[in-house]
Amino acid sequence: MEKLKIIKEQKGNDTVTRTIRISGTTFDRINELAEKNKISFNSVINQIIEYGLNNLDE
């Protein structure tokens, strides 16, 4: 399986606002990735979710 690569991508217009709860440690790790790659926290979250869904073992 390929590793997740964080990329800078443009925003799409097809979005849904939803509240989720994550652990503080997970938040910190995602925030660090966002800062390191100079992209939004939300963009990192969306890329992680897409990667997980595309590599889901069904």
Q: Which residue has the tokens 């849904």?
A: 16
pLDDT of 2 above 90: no
Residue 2 resides in a domain: no
Domain that holds residue 46: 24-54
Domain count, the chain: 1
Residue-averaged pLDDT of the chain? 91
Residue of 38, 36, 47 whose CA lies nearest to 12? 47
Residue 7 resides in a domain: no
Measured distance CA(57)–CA(41) in Å, rounded: 26
Report field, pTM of the whole predicted structure over 0.75: yes
Per residue in 7-28, pLDDT tens?
887 666 788 999 999 999 999 9
Residues 6+ apart with CB under 8 A from 44: 6, 30, 33, 34, 37
Residue 18 resides in a domain: no
37 neighbors 6 (Cβ within 8 angstroms): yes
